[in-house]
Amino acid sequence: MSRALIIVDVQPTFCEGGELGVDGGNAVAERIADYVRAHRDDYAFIATTQDWHIVPGRHFSEQPDFVDTWPPHGVAGTVNAQLHPAIAALNVDHHFKKGQYSAAYSGFEGIEDNSDRQQSRAEVRIATEEGHTLVNALRKAGIGDVDVVGIAESHCVKETALDAVKFGFHVRVFTDITVPVSEDLGELARKQMAEAGVVLEPSR
C-alpha cells in the first residue's frame, strides 16, 4: 500500500505570535518543510489541514476554558489562518479546511478546499455529503499508511492520528516534527496515541 503525509494545522495562528501560539511552532514548520523536501518521493499523497473558522459557534469564547472553548483563532481569510510560509512554499496539492461552522480538531472532519474562499454552510454541507473528505481522498489514492506531523501534538495532531487509526490506516506520528501545547498534555497525547496503535518515532 502507498503512504501519505498529513501536515496538520501548521499556520501562523498556532505559532509564536499567533492567537494560540505554541512554543516551537515556527521551528517545527521549518523542520517539516526540510523533511518534505528530503522525503517527498516517499509519499504518494501529501495534504495539509487548516483551521478555517468562519462562524464556529461555541468553539470561540470571550471567556475561554482552553478545553472546549478558545479565543478566536484560525479565522478564515486572515493572514494567520493561511499556511505557514515554510509550508506554503512546498506547493502541496491537497488542502483540507475544517471547523468552518463548528469545532473541529481532526483533519478527517474537514473538506478538500484548495481555495481561500469562505464557503457558505450549504457549500460545506454539500462538499461533505459529496465525499470531498480526507478519508475518501486517501482511499482513492490507494493509501494504507499515514504519517502525521504538525501542530499541536496534544490536540489536532492527536485527533487526526486517532481518526486515521479508526479508519483502518497504519499510522505514524513523527515526534520531532510535531509540538504539544505543553509537555504534560503532550505526554498524555502520546499515551493515548500509543494505546490506540499509533507508532511514535522520530522522522527519518
Q: DSSP string spanning 44-104?
A: SEEEEEEE-BSS-GGGB-SS--SSS-B-S-SBTTSGGGSPPHHHHTT--SEEEEE-SSS--
Residue 192, domain extent: 2-201
The single residue listed with the C-alpha cell 506520528 is 173
* CATH assignment of the domain containing 182: 3.40.50.850
Question: 84 and 36 in contact (C-beta within 8 Å)?
Answer: no
Q: What is the pLDDT of residue 1?
A: 64
Beta-bridge partner residues of 145: 3, 170
Gyration radius of the chain's alpha carbons: 15
Is 166 tagged catalytic?
A: no
Distant-in-sequence, close-in-space partners of 35: CB < 8 Å, separation ≥ 6: 149, 174, 177, 203
Q: Which of 9, 145, 147, 163 is catalytic?
A: 9
3-state secondary structure of 174: strand
Total structural domains in the chain? 1
Q: What is the pLDDT of residue 49?
A: 98
Q: Which of 15, 98, 113, 145 is catalytic?
A: 98
Is 9 tagged catalytic?
A: yes
Q: What is the pLDDT of residue 204?
A: 77
Is 191 tagged catalytic?
A: no
Tens-binned pLDDT, residue by residue, of the chain (204 aa): 699 999 999 999 999 999 999 999 999 999 999 999 999 999 999 999 999 999 999 999 999 999 999 999 999 999 999 999 999 999 999 999 999 999 999 999 999 999 999 999 999 999 999 999 999 999 999 999 999 999 999 999 999 999 999 999 999 999 999 999 999 999 999 999 999 999 999 997
Question: 52 and 99 in contact (C-beta within 8 Å)?
Answer: yes
Question: 83 and 10 in contact (C-beta within 8 Å)?
Answer: yes
Q: Which of 51, 113, 145, 156 is catalytic?
A: 156
